[in-house]
Amino acid sequence: MRFGIIAKPHLEAADTLRQFLSYLRERRIETVLDAETAALVGETSSHQKSRIPAQVDVIAVLGGDGTLLSVARLIGCYDVPIFGINLGSLGFLTEVTLEELYPTLDKVIAGDVEYDERLMLTARVLRQGEKISQSIVLNDIVINKSALAKIIDMEAYIDGRYVANFKADGLIVSTPTGSTAYNLAAGGPIVHPKMRAIILAPICPHILTNRPVVVKDDSQIEIVLKSEKTEVLLTLDGQVGFSLRGGDVIQIDKATCTIKLISCPGKTYFDILRTKLKWTQR
């Protein structure tokens, strides 16, 4: 078995990473590190991050949900599961805590684990009919304005049929996995990650009856940016983005591949919700 290891590039990950590497190597598990991860523990042997998914059987992510999201986009359609290890507060995606790490790792090495398969989305940007960008996301695609820009005017189509004009600060198109991220903050619904659905949630809509909409996962979504003089950004998983222009068309549909997350034994999605959202507190 070959383990790819990608850690959050900060010093707080170093001690855990050293122990993790030692544990694997004592069991003769081969490890593949990217340059930033190797630098944390003073190792010189490293691999180009983009090539790691093609070389390993599983990728361990040490960090938080942001680190895992970047790795999910990196994996794309490689059939490589992610073992998410949380180094801070409990995450929705990096659900294995340090206390649970080694008992769970033993199960991963033995092949005695369950995989949580998650829907991903593909986003394409067309400008004057030409595709200028294409990306895969695990959480969400967000069209939003810059700090001082005016309200954004967008036309939405689903399966080629006109839905509505959204006049708002932006629009979130989210997977069920991303429903507990920006979508939740914008008043969208929490959708169980095993649901095959896509959520459209306007951000601060000018018309209060513009509410979040949940559609089936095989829907073909098209957003046409009508605003001409407003600074508008497209953001992917809250990490990667670029500027849009009036007339740009954003096409969104289900990706041809999914991401597999290794589940922590004995922990359910609702256990994570209760803890993360503090549902048991008053």
Write out the catalytic residue numbers: 65
User: How distant is the alpha carbon of residue 218 from its chain centre?
Assistant: 19
Instruction: Assess contact for 34 and 46: CB atoms under 8 A.
Output: yes
Q: How far is CA 261 from the centre of its chain?
A: 11
How far is the C-alpha of 220 from the C-alpha of 163, rounded, in Å? 12
